[in-house]
Amino acid sequence: MEQQELIPHLFRNEYTKITAVLCKRFGFEHIEAAEDIASDTFLTAAQTWVINGVPANPVAWLYNVAGNKAKNFLKRQHLFQQKIAPALKNAPGFSEETGIDLSPQNISDSQLQMMFAVCDPCIPAEAQIGLALRILCGFGINEIADAFLTNTETINKRLSRAKEKLRQQNVTLQFPAAAAADARLANVLTTIYLLFSEGYYSESTAATVRKDLCLEAMRLCSLLTANEHTNTAPVNALLALMCFHASRFDARVGTNGEMILYDEQDTSLWNTDLVAKGTWYLHRAATGKQISTYHIEATIAYWHTQKEDTPEKWETILQLYNRLLQIAYSPVAALNRTYALAKANGKAAAIKEALQLNLHQHHFYFVLLGELYTGVDEEKARRYFEQALALAKTSADKSAIMRRIQRL
């Protein structure tokens, strides 16, 4: 790999590991120091490697440099505490042996513990996702700003407020106690799911950023399945769900970046490897008695990977949505359930129920009504599509609706 490609590649992979390990060692209150040292390590690498060439083992080189910088930091901290805060009784002792443990086990543990720290419900969901992208996925501030359709200043403020809040809460990098583990893990899964959705449904125009968000969400979830503490049934169900959705990545965006809806997709572009992977995780999720919303959503997503439009497929999807809505209502699930109802019980039944849904602020609601009236009452269909058009925000959504109107 050429050097100009190598450093960004290493940055993506190693920055987050170094930050997590150092942050665990220093304590969360020093997260900025950990980030600075990780960044500084890459700066040193860029400067040194230009002159001396890339070392034989770049990763080991990075860990070594990061370890030395961390030791210096701890030494300075120690001097600070010795001189300026001598009254501090419980100051941690310092010795030259205070090593920085960059073993694979400690890296993996530190990253998982960092995940638990970042996904603390004391900070808003947007900030959790932002921090996860920065600290766990090594995204640049401008990439995060891009994903959230905002500017770097806003993201910087949001992240520093979130870090300050976590410091105030005395968040530590450790696995939660067994009693609290399920609830804390549920928070982590929510953040991962939001991160994935941010990529999958994002209004950002940068397609690569969107895909990266989804892939990072899947990577973080894979870290959870790889660790015995966190390899639970809902974690596997969520990973299965994301694999199934991601299998349609290439089919759902056209050559001009426009969104291609499910029933118009070229099914030969569906990624069968990801479908197989998703199926494998869904089997692993089928342990224990717990049925999470991820289980139901993953099973729905599994049925969507079946190309044949059979009555069984839509009847099963309808019943899964019936169950999902009883546990966790969401407007998207309500709309999708009504679409499945049309497929399973016919358009007349679905129109009747669609008109009861009070979702007038969602353009998808009017897309659904237009879709249901297509072939039943073209004039009504056209009016609903036009209402959808007035509410749609992105050009991709607008052009998809335009195509439907033209086809009437």
Q: Is the dihedral of CA 48, 52, 58, 62 positive or negative?
A: negative
Q: How far is the CB of 311 from other proteins (least distance, A)?
A: 12
> For residues 22 and 334, which CB has a smaller minimum distance to other proteins in the complex?
334
What count of other Cβ atoms lies within 10 Å of the Cβ of residue 272? 10
> For residues 45 and 320, which CB has a smaller minimum distance to other proteins in the complex?
320
- The dihedral region occupied by 172, where left means phi > 0, alpha psi between -120 and 50, and beta the remainder, is beta
> For residues 125 and 325, which CB has a smaller minimum distance to other proteins in the complex?
325
135 vs 17: CA distance, rounded Å: 9
> For residues 230 and 293, which CB has a smaller minimum distance to other proteins in the complex?
293
> For residues 78 and 313, which CB has a smaller minimum distance to other proteins in the complex?
313
Q: Is the dihedral of CA 147, 151, 154, 157 positive or negative?
A: positive
Where do we find the tokens 């290493």?
A: 10
What count of other Cβ atoms lies within 10 Å of the Cβ of residue 56? 7
Distance set, CA 289 to CA 233, 278, 323 (Å)? 9, 20, 16
Burial of 303 (0-12, 13-18, 19+ CB in 10 A): middle
Q: Is the Cβ–Cβ distance between 358 and 340 less than 8 Å?
A: no
The binding site for other proteins (CB under 8 A) comprises: 315, 318-319, 321-323, 325-326, 329, 333-334, 337-338, 341, 345, 353, 356-358
> Could you write out the three-class secondary structure of 47-100?
HHHHHHCCCCCHHHHHHHHHHHHHHHHHHHHHHHHHHCCCCCCCCCCCCCCCCC
> For residues 274 and 350, which CB has a smaller minimum distance to other proteins in the complex?
350
> For residues 258 and 315, which CB has a smaller minimum distance to other proteins in the complex?
315
Q: Is the Cβ–Cβ distance between 18 and 44 less than 8 Å?
A: no
User: How many C-alpha atoms does 143 have within 13 Å on its Cβ side?
Assistant: 18
- The dihedral region occupied by 27, where left means phi > 0, alpha psi between -120 and 50, and beta the remainder, is left
> For residues 61 and 384, which CB has a smaller minimum distance to other proteins in the complex?
384
Burial of 43 (0-12, 13-18, 19+ CB in 10 A): exposed
Residue 161: CB partners within 8 Å, gap ≥ 6? 127
